[in-house]
Amino acid sequence: MTEETPGFDEKPDVPSGATPDDAEPQAASPSGEGAAPAGDESAQIAGLTAQLDQVRKALEERTADLQRLQAEFQNYRRRVERDRVTVKEIANANLLTELLPVLDDIGRAREHGELVGGFKSVAESLETVAAKMGLQQFGKEGEPFDPTIHEALMHSYAPDVTETTCVAILQPGYRIGERTIRPARVAVAEPQPGAQTVKADEAETADDKESGGPDEG
């Protein structure tokens, strides 16, 4: 006895009250629950924008901090370099100040014709080294007296000067750059009292002679 196999043309049982269309799955509607609401997308964009603003603000703060640190470092380097130069100048000035009496002796020996032989060679070498270190000598006869760079040790009057003048250099002055390490010690002369009045009268008389003298009445 054989079992009969249902044919392919037989339809499966369908519950009563249901139509064939009800058995097919329904396609999801674009506006159904499967699509993300537009409000959620706007919230996500707003959140990302806020995070981006925070990152941008933090970057600006870090950039400002870096610029401030860089400026402070540059100021520190300039201050260190300035201090280094100042210390070097002070050390040179102290050394050269100790050598000034030796240079004075060399100058006096040169004036008296005693700078000869090996002593002359050594003296000139010492003066060359001092000049390379920035030492400059100043003070000349006939220049106007300047109390900031001259020290008057002798005072007199002279009829041939029109202002206080250095008439003799007793000891030369020395400077390093713009810094005076020893003023020039000088003898000064001032105009003779009344000399300006006499000269003015002489000049007036000369003018009268050139113009033919005063008009006669």
Condensed to tens digits (0 to 9), the pLDDT of residues 22-61 reads 444 444 444 445 555 667 888 888 888 888 989 999 999 9
- Give the integer Cα–Cα distance in Å for 149 and 173: 8
pLDDT value of position 208: 58
113 with 126, same domain? yes
- Residue 82 domain-assigned (yes or no): yes
116 with 159, same domain? no
pLDDT value of position 177: 86
Kindly state the percentage of the chain with pLDDT values over 70. 71
Pairing of β 179-182 and β 173-176: antiparallel
- Residue 29 domain-assigned (yes or no): no
89 with 154, same domain? no
- Residue 184 domain-assigned (yes or no): yes
68 with 85, same domain? yes
125 with 147, same domain? no
Find all residues with CB under 8 Å of 168, minimum gap 6, and list them: 141, 154, 186, 187
155 with 185, same domain? yes
Where among 78, 107, 133 does a domain terminate? 133
Pairing of β 150-158 and β 184-191: parallel
Model pTM above 0.75: no
54 with 73, same domain? yes
Helix (H) or strand (E) holding 157: strand 150-158
61 with 126, same domain? yes
What domain range is 66 assigned to?
47-133
143 with 182, same domain? yes
pLDDT value of position 79: 93
- The answer to which of 31-35, 127-131, 189-193 has the lowest mean pLDDT is 31-35
51 with 124, same domain? yes
Count of structural domains, the chain: 2
126 with 52, same domain? yes
Task: Pick the more confident residue, 29 or 132.
Answer: 132
56 with 114, same domain? yes
- Residue 176 domain-assigned (yes or no): yes
Residue 174 pLDDT exceeds 90: yes
Residue 185 pLDDT exceeds 50: yes
- Residue 8 domain-assigned (yes or no): no
- Give the integer Cα–Cα distance in Å for 35 and 213: 124
pLDDT value of position 29: 47
Mean pLDDT (the chain) is: 80
Where among 70, 104, 133 does a domain terminate? 133
- Residue 11 domain-assigned (yes or no): no
Residue 175 pLDDT exceeds 90: yes
Task: Pick the more confident residue, 7 or 192.
Answer: 192
- Residue 217 domain-assigned (yes or no): no
